[in-house]
Amino acid sequence: MLYIFDLGNVVVDIDFNRVLGVWSDLSGVPLATLQSRFSMDSAFEQHERGEISDPDFAERLCEQLDVALSYAQFTAGWQAVFIGVRPETLKIMQQLRARGERVVILSNTNQLHVEFWPLHYPEVEQAADHIYMSQDIGMRKPEARIFNYVLEREGVSAADAIFFDDNQANIDAARALGIHSVLVKDSTTVPEWFAAHGQR
Protein backbone atom coordinates (compact mmCIF):
# COMPACT_ATOMS: atom_id res chain seq x y z
CA MET A 1 0.00 0.00 0.00
CA LEU A 2 1.13 3.54 -0.79
CA TYR A 3 0.42 6.15 1.89
CA ILE A 4 0.46 9.74 0.61
CA PHE A 5 0.60 12.55 3.16
CA ASP A 6 0.19 16.26 2.55
CA LEU A 7 2.70 18.39 4.50
CA GLY A 8 0.97 21.50 5.83
CA ASN A 9 -1.55 20.85 8.62
CA VAL A 10 -1.09 17.12 8.15
CA VAL A 11 2.54 16.45 9.07
CA VAL A 12 3.57 20.00 10.05
CA ASP A 13 1.28 22.60 11.62
CA ILE A 14 1.09 25.85 9.68
CA ASP A 15 -0.85 29.10 10.08
CA PHE A 16 -0.85 31.68 7.31
CA ASN A 17 -2.05 34.37 9.70
CA ARG A 18 1.43 34.22 11.24
CA VAL A 19 2.83 35.31 7.87
CA LEU A 20 0.46 38.24 7.58
CA GLY A 21 1.12 39.12 11.22
CA VAL A 22 4.85 39.54 10.58
CA TRP A 23 4.20 41.62 7.48
CA SER A 24 1.72 43.74 9.42
CA ASP A 25 4.31 44.42 12.12
CA LEU A 26 6.98 45.28 9.54
CA SER A 27 4.79 47.46 7.33
CA GLY A 28 2.45 49.06 9.83
CA VAL A 29 -0.55 47.92 7.77
CA PRO A 30 -3.28 46.45 10.01
CA LEU A 31 -3.53 42.65 9.98
CA ALA A 32 -7.22 42.76 9.08
CA THR A 33 -6.39 44.86 6.03
CA LEU A 34 -3.80 42.36 4.83
CA GLN A 35 -6.20 39.49 5.45
CA SER A 36 -8.85 41.20 3.30
CA ARG A 37 -6.38 41.82 0.46
CA PHE A 38 -4.74 38.41 0.35
CA SER A 39 -5.91 35.73 -2.05
CA MET A 40 -4.34 32.62 -3.59
CA ASP A 41 -4.37 33.99 -7.11
CA SER A 42 -2.71 32.84 -10.33
CA ALA A 43 0.70 34.11 -9.17
CA PHE A 44 0.39 32.00 -6.03
CA GLU A 45 -0.35 28.92 -8.12
CA GLN A 46 2.47 29.72 -10.57
CA HIS A 47 4.88 30.05 -7.66
CA GLU A 48 3.90 26.63 -6.35
CA ARG A 49 4.52 25.13 -9.79
CA GLY A 50 7.95 26.75 -9.93
CA GLU A 51 6.90 28.88 -12.89
CA ILE A 52 7.93 32.20 -11.32
CA SER A 53 10.88 32.96 -9.06
CA ASP A 54 10.71 33.77 -5.36
CA PRO A 55 11.65 37.45 -5.91
CA ASP A 56 9.05 37.82 -8.67
CA PHE A 57 6.40 36.25 -6.46
CA ALA A 58 7.39 38.50 -3.56
CA GLU A 59 7.01 41.55 -5.77
CA ARG A 60 3.60 40.46 -7.05
CA LEU A 61 2.30 39.62 -3.61
CA CYS A 62 3.50 42.91 -2.15
CA GLU A 63 1.63 44.67 -4.96
CA GLN A 64 -1.51 42.65 -4.19
CA LEU A 65 -1.28 43.51 -0.50
CA ASP A 66 -0.15 47.09 -1.20
CA VAL A 67 2.74 46.86 1.27
CA ALA A 68 6.33 48.02 0.98
CA LEU A 69 8.59 45.19 2.15
CA SER A 70 12.18 44.37 1.33
CA TYR A 71 12.81 40.87 0.02
CA ALA A 72 14.38 39.99 3.38
CA GLN A 73 11.28 41.23 5.20
CA PHE A 74 9.03 39.32 2.83
CA THR A 75 11.03 36.15 3.44
CA ALA A 76 10.96 36.59 7.22
CA GLY A 77 7.18 36.67 7.10
CA TRP A 78 6.85 33.89 4.52
CA GLN A 79 8.81 31.45 6.69
CA ALA A 80 6.76 32.30 9.79
CA VAL A 81 3.97 30.05 8.46
CA PHE A 82 5.51 27.00 10.15
CA ILE A 83 4.60 26.16 13.75
CA GLY A 84 5.98 22.67 14.36
CA VAL A 85 5.67 19.00 13.52
CA ARG A 86 2.83 16.67 14.49
CA PRO A 87 4.75 13.95 16.36
CA GLU A 88 1.89 11.43 16.35
CA THR A 89 1.64 11.58 12.56
CA LEU A 90 5.40 11.24 12.19
CA LYS A 91 5.34 8.22 14.49
CA ILE A 92 2.67 6.58 12.32
CA MET A 93 4.67 7.26 9.16
CA GLN A 94 7.72 5.65 10.75
CA GLN A 95 5.68 2.63 11.86
CA LEU A 96 4.28 2.18 8.35
CA ARG A 97 7.75 2.21 6.85
CA ALA A 98 9.05 -0.18 9.50
CA ARG A 99 6.53 -2.79 8.37
CA GLY A 100 7.39 -2.33 4.72
CA GLU A 101 4.73 0.09 3.53
CA ARG A 102 5.62 2.90 1.13
CA VAL A 103 5.22 6.41 2.62
CA VAL A 104 5.52 9.64 0.61
CA ILE A 105 4.72 13.31 1.06
CA LEU A 106 2.93 15.27 -1.67
CA SER A 107 3.04 19.01 -1.00
CA ASN A 108 2.06 22.19 -2.77
CA THR A 109 5.10 24.25 -1.86
CA ASN A 110 7.71 26.69 -3.16
CA GLN A 111 11.47 27.16 -3.15
CA LEU A 112 11.54 29.47 -0.13
CA HIS A 113 9.69 26.97 2.03
CA VAL A 114 11.81 24.10 0.74
CA GLU A 115 14.87 26.01 1.89
CA PHE A 116 13.35 26.35 5.36
CA TRP A 117 11.43 23.37 6.70
CA PRO A 118 13.91 20.55 5.94
CA LEU A 119 16.50 22.38 8.03
CA HIS A 120 14.14 22.95 10.94
CA TYR A 121 12.24 19.66 10.76
CA PRO A 122 14.71 17.03 9.48
CA GLU A 123 12.57 14.34 11.10
CA VAL A 124 9.98 14.86 8.36
CA GLU A 125 12.31 13.73 5.59
CA GLN A 126 13.46 10.86 7.79
CA ALA A 127 9.85 9.63 8.10
CA ALA A 128 9.18 9.50 4.34
CA ASP A 129 10.49 7.34 1.52
CA HIS A 130 10.16 10.22 -0.94
CA ILE A 131 8.91 13.81 -1.00
CA TYR A 132 7.06 15.12 -4.05
CA MET A 133 7.09 18.93 -4.14
CA SER A 134 4.90 20.87 -6.56
CA GLN A 135 7.56 23.42 -7.42
CA ASP A 136 9.97 20.64 -8.43
CA ILE A 137 7.58 18.80 -10.75
CA GLY A 138 5.66 21.74 -12.22
CA MET A 139 2.23 20.58 -11.05
CA ARG A 140 0.10 21.24 -8.00
CA LYS A 141 -2.91 19.80 -6.23
CA PRO A 142 -5.78 19.52 -7.05
CA GLU A 143 -4.64 18.92 -10.64
CA ALA A 144 -5.32 15.31 -11.56
CA ARG A 145 -1.97 15.04 -13.31
CA ILE A 146 0.01 15.42 -10.08
CA PHE A 147 -1.75 12.44 -8.51
CA ASN A 148 -1.26 10.39 -11.66
CA TYR A 149 2.41 11.40 -11.66
CA VAL A 150 2.90 10.11 -8.12
CA LEU A 151 1.04 6.86 -8.81
CA GLU A 152 3.09 6.26 -11.95
CA ARG A 153 6.40 7.04 -10.23
CA GLU A 154 5.50 4.76 -7.34
CA GLY A 155 4.25 2.00 -9.60
CA VAL A 156 0.89 1.55 -7.87
CA SER A 157 -2.73 1.80 -8.89
CA ALA A 158 -5.14 4.31 -7.36
CA ALA A 159 -6.85 1.46 -5.51
CA ASP A 160 -3.59 0.73 -3.69
CA ALA A 161 -3.10 4.28 -2.38
CA ILE A 162 -4.40 6.21 0.63
CA PHE A 163 -4.16 10.01 0.66
CA PHE A 164 -4.32 12.39 3.65
CA ASP A 165 -4.87 16.12 3.03
CA ASP A 166 -6.48 19.07 4.81
CA ASN A 167 -7.94 20.62 1.65
CA GLN A 168 -11.35 19.41 0.45
CA ALA A 169 -10.64 20.25 -3.20
CA ASN A 170 -7.52 18.07 -3.11
CA ILE A 171 -9.45 15.25 -1.45
CA ASP A 172 -12.21 15.46 -4.08
CA ALA A 173 -9.67 15.39 -6.92
CA ALA A 174 -7.91 12.32 -5.51
CA ARG A 175 -11.20 10.52 -4.89
CA ALA A 176 -12.27 11.19 -8.48
CA LEU A 177 -9.23 9.16 -9.55
CA GLY A 178 -10.14 6.27 -7.25
CA ILE A 179 -7.65 7.06 -4.47
CA HIS A 180 -8.99 6.41 -0.97
CA SER A 181 -8.74 9.86 0.60
CA VAL A 182 -9.06 11.14 4.17
CA LEU A 183 -9.80 14.80 4.96
CA VAL A 184 -7.55 15.88 7.84
CA LYS A 185 -9.46 18.31 10.06
CA ASP A 186 -7.00 18.59 12.95
CA SER A 187 -4.06 16.85 14.60
CA THR A 188 -6.26 13.98 15.83
CA THR A 189 -7.59 12.90 12.41
CA VAL A 190 -4.65 10.80 11.26
CA PRO A 191 -4.04 8.96 14.57
CA GLU A 192 -7.78 8.30 14.95
CA TRP A 193 -8.06 6.97 11.38
CA PHE A 194 -5.24 4.49 11.90
CA ALA A 195 -6.60 3.47 15.30
CA ALA A 196 -10.05 2.86 13.76
CA HIS A 197 -8.52 0.76 11.00
CA GLY A 198 -6.46 -1.36 13.36
CA GLN A 199 -3.17 -0.05 12.01
CA ARG A 200 -1.58 1.35 15.16
Q: Is the pLDDT of residue 170 over 60?
A: yes
Catalytic machinery residues = 6
Euclidean distance between CA atoms 144 and 139, whole angstroms: 9
How far apart are the C-alpha atoms of 67 and 35, rounded to whole Å?
12
- Position 60 scores a pLDDT of 95
Convert the pLDDT of each residue in 131-169 to its tens digit: 999 999 999 999 999 999 999 999 999 999 999 999 999
Q: Which one-letter DSSP state was computed for residue 7?
A: S
* Amino acid (1-letter code) at residue 176: A
Rounded to a whole number of angstroms, the distance between the first and last alpha carbons of the chain is 15
| Residue 13 neighbours by CB distance under 10 Å | 15
Q: Are 77 and 19 in contact (CB under 8 A)?
A: yes
58: pLDDT strictly greater than 90:
yes
With 70 as the cut, is the pLDDT of residue 9 above it? yes
Q: What is the mean pLDDT of the chain?
A: 95
Residue 187 is predicted with a pLDDT of: 96
Cα angle value 21/22/26 (rounded, 5°): 120
In this prediction, residue 119 has a pLDDT band, given cuts at 50, 70 and 90, of confident
In one letter, which amino acid is 134? S
Helix (H) or strand (E) holding 102: strand 102-107
Query: Among candidates 168, 156, 125, 196, which has minimal Cα distance to 9?
Result: 168
Distance CA 89, CA 92 (A): 5
**How many angstroms separate the CA atoms of 113 and 58, rounded?**
13
